[in-house]
């Protein structure tokens, strides 16, 4: 009996090879991006190449499966493996693009939209020209154009109030210096990198703190600014978070501010033990009503730690008074 050669699909091994390359490239890209070894443009271009390879692998696998189903022969395992590897490799580019299209968020969020805290310079666009170009084309999709048109009718303050009604300034019944110390400890506990700081000269002096937050999944960075100012209650805290690139994760700028506020509350609760005596809601503020600043019980009466100078006819005298804490 004459035996005919079995049909061999060339698309099946090609699908397996392309799928393996796409999977390896996507995995290496994600790992190197997480450890900040890639520039934003390199990250986007690498994911784009992985997406093309993954789509090609899935197409070759489907073609091989159809031909093997109709003509018989071997290669069904390679075609299925190629499709599976391609689908897994395609998840990362699809997730990054999908977050930009389905749920675009504000790249700059602050508790005070009218007078936001100052930030250090963001990552220059020259370092992510390809990413900015791609993000601008993504915004031309029908869904985002509709959202941008709806947003254009409202100011930044109105838009943020609608999207994030809980992102508001916080007041505390402690001095600005004490609140600054608690905020700095919270930043350290969150493992954020401190970029710059304006420490308090006196307990009631305005302060500021600048930090950089790195996300856990992709290692994306956010610029953070904290501003503490004196307030009739005690201290007023404002926070601002800005993305360094158009890329985003499931946790955006609003969640960065929420996480920082929660950590500050935890530090204050650990330090003072009664958070309800410290935090002040807007509804509690009443005009012409005396507001007391919370202070810890002291065993001594606090006095200045320096000796005042008095000028008389004979000149300056630094030993006019001997100042020490008085025992209670």
Separation between Cα atoms, residue 31 and residue 217, nearest integer Å: 9
Same domain, 52 and 128: no
Residue 295 confidence class, pLDDT cut points 50, 70, 90: low
Q: Return the pLDDT at 226.
A: 96
Closest-CA residue to 224 (of 216, 236, 212, 214): 212
Same domain, 120 and 260: yes
Q: What is the pLDDT of residues 232-256, one digit of tens each?
A: 889 999 999 998 887 777 678 999 9
| Residues facing 207 on adjacent strands | 228
Higher-pLDDT residue of 307, 76: 76
* Average confidence score pLDDT of the chain: 79
Q: Which long-range contacts (CB under 8 A, 24 or more apart) does 165-169 make?
A: 166/258, 167/109, 167/110, 167/111, 167/254, 167/257, 167/258, 168/111, 168/282, 169/111, 169/112, 169/236, 169/237, 169/238
Same domain, 84 and 137: no
Closest-CA residue to 228 (of 177, 303, 165, 278): 177
Q: What is the pLDDT of residues 308-321, one digit of tens each?
A: 444 444 544 444 44
The CATH number assigned to the domain holding 173 equals 3.30.310.80
Does any domain span residue 6?
no
Number of domains the chain is built from:
2
Does any domain span residue 162?
yes
Same domain, 84 and 165: no
Does any domain span residue 223?
yes
Residue-wise over 64-76: b if at least 16 C-beta within 10 A, else e?
Answer: bbebbeeeeeebb
Same domain, 71 and 193: no
Same domain, 22 and 148: no
Same domain, 88 and 208: no
Same domain, 78 and 157: no
Residue 93 confidence class, pLDDT cut points 50, 70, 90: confident
Does any domain span residue 231?
yes
Strand, helix or coil for residue 39: coil
Same domain, 77 and 178: no
DSSP assignment letter at 7: P
Distance set, CA 3 to CA 6, 71, 217, 246 (Å): 9, 15, 56, 61
Q: Return the pLDDT at 138.
A: 65
Q: Return the pLDDT at 239.
A: 97
Same domain, 136 and 72: no
**Would you say the pTM of this structure is higher than 0.75?**
no
Range of the domain at 182: 108-280
Q: What is the pLDDT of residues 170-228, one digit of tens each?
A: 999 999 999 999 999 999 999 999 999 999 887 778 999 999 998 888 888 899 999 99
Separation between Cα atoms, residue 77 and residue 59, nearest integer Å: 15
Same domain, 115 and 250: yes
Residue 148 confidence class, pLDDT cut points 50, 70, 90: low
Same domain, 127 and 273: yes
């Amino acid at each position: 009996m004459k035996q005919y050669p079995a049909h061999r699909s060339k698309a099946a091994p090609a699908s397996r090879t392309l799928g393996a390359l796409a999977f390896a490239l996507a995995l290496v890209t994600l790992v190197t991006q997480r450890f900040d070894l890639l520039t934003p443009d390199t990250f986007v271009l690498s994911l784009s190449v992985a997406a093309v390879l993954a789509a090609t692998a899935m197409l070759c696998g489907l073609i091989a499966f159809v031909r093997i189903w109709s003509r018989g022969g071997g290669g069904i395992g390679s075609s299925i493996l190629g499709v599976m590897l391609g689908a897994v490799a395609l998840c990362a580019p699809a997730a990054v693009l999908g977050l930009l299209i389905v749920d675009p968020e504000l790249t700059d969020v602050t508790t005070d939209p009218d007078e936001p805290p100052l930030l250090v310079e963001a990552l220059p666009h020259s370092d992510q020209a390809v990413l900015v170009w791609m993000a601008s084309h993504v915004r031309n999709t029908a869904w985002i154009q509709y959202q941008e048109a709806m947003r254009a009718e409202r100011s930044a303050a109105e838009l943020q109030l609608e999207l994030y009604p809980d992102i508001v300034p916080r007041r505390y019944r402690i001095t600005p210096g004490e609140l600054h110390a608690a905020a700095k400890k919270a930043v350290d506990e969150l493992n954020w990198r401190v970029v710059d700081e304006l420490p308090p000269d006196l307990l009631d002096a305005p302060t500021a703190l600048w930090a950089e937050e790195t996300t856990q999944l992709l290692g994306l960075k956010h610029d953070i600014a904290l501003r503490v100012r004196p307030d009739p209650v005690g201290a007023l805290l404002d926070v601002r978070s800005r993305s360094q690139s158009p890329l985003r994760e499931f946790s955006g700028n609003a969640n960065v501010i929420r996480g920082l506020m929660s950590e500050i509350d935890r530090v204050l609760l650990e330090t003072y033990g009664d958070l309800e005596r410290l935090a002040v809601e807007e509804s509690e503020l009443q005009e012409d009503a005396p507001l007391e600043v919370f202070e810890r019980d002291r065993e001594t009466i606090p006095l200045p730690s320096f000796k005042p100078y008095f000028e008389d006819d004979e000149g300056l005298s630094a030993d006019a008074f001997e100042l020490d804490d008085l025992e209670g």
